[in-house]
Amino acid sequence: MPTISYRRHAEADEATQRVYEDIMRTYGLDEPRGIYLLMGHTPTHLAGSWPRSRYIYGRDTNFSVKEKHIFTLAISATNNCEYCCRSHTTRLRQLAMSDAEILEVLMVVDVTNGESKFAEGTRFGNNPVLPPPKKSRKIGHSGDPLKNNADHLGGTGTFYELMAYKPDYRSASWARRRMCFEEEGRLGVRLKHIIAFTVAATTGADHLIREHTARLRELEISPEAVAELLFIIDVVCGYNRYVQGVQVDPLEGQRKPWGRHADANKAASCG
């Protein structure tokens, strides 16, 4: 149970009840989900928060509702929000996503989070805390196991040069990255780069944000679509902290049915 009690429909004032009823109509629920019942204690906050959720999860826009649930899972995993991870994994299964596909999402989360922290820890790109590697250690030198891949590194080239102090580690790291972002897999390279951008923006890793933004441009993803990704990050990061702060039961999102509507445009997640 959360540390603050739910404010049920019967207990709420008329303005809050109207928002609750809109939530129930939109998602096909018999009552709002947990996060909204908690926001019911602060009606103004509820009234401001609900339209943002409805915009994101209520319909397809630049991204499908299914894709937006994928991004939300990636953001929630990065923020270690167990409730939201369980809730969105459940929703993705309902949207016919296989466990193998869900694990591929988490593979991107794994690789991008690791690279983000490496870049931030070394302060890569602006007065790094590690001295530049010796010339003989740069990518592409004779005998370098990454020599044949140097052209594929793009904006990450110098980033991987910082790993050259441990060539075996760098080779293993590059193999993971290449599997993640150069092989189509089940999700496709395009979707995996979008997921990586949401993770990088969530962690605040400047280098990775720039790198994946450049890749999104190459993939002809519009500025409007990138802005929508930032809207999703904004909403989800806030909700992650909200449910963690009030200690919503992590299993609630699995036990509670998603609603009467089965199609992707009628069922949402957070809350």
DSSP H/E element including 249: none
The whole-angstrom separation of Cα 37 and Cα 138 is 56
Domain residue ranges of the chain, discontinuous segments joined by +: 59-264
The per-residue pLDDT for 119 is 86
Q: Tell me what pLDDT residue 271 has.
A: 45
Q: What pLDDT does 130 receive? A: 78
Contact 98, 266 (CB under 8 A): no
pLDDT score, position 267: 45
Could you give the CA distance from residue 221 to residue 231 in angstroms, rounded to a whole number? Answer: 15
CATH superfamily for domain 59-264: AhpD-like (1.20.1290.10)
**Could you read off the pLDDT tens digit of each residue along the chain, which spans 271 residues?**
789 999 999 999 999 999 999 999 987 888 888 889 999 999 999 999 999 999 998 889 999 999 999 999 999 999 999 999 998 999 899 999 999 999 999 999 999 999 999 988 888 776 778 776 665 444 544 445 554 444 444 445 567 777 877 888 888 998 899 899 989 999 999 999 999 999 999 999 888 898 899 999 999 999 999 999 999 999 999 999 999 999 888 777 555 544 544 444 444 445 4
Q: Output the pLDDT for position 116.
A: 92
The pLDDT value recorded for residue 254 is 56
Query: Which of 265, 262, 92 is CA-nearest to residue 186?
Result: 92
pTM for this one?
0.85
**84, burial (CB in 10 Å: exposed 0-12, middle 13-18, buried 19+):** buried
Residue keyed to tokens 């590690």: 130
Dihedral sign from CA coordinates of 137, 138, 142, 147: positive
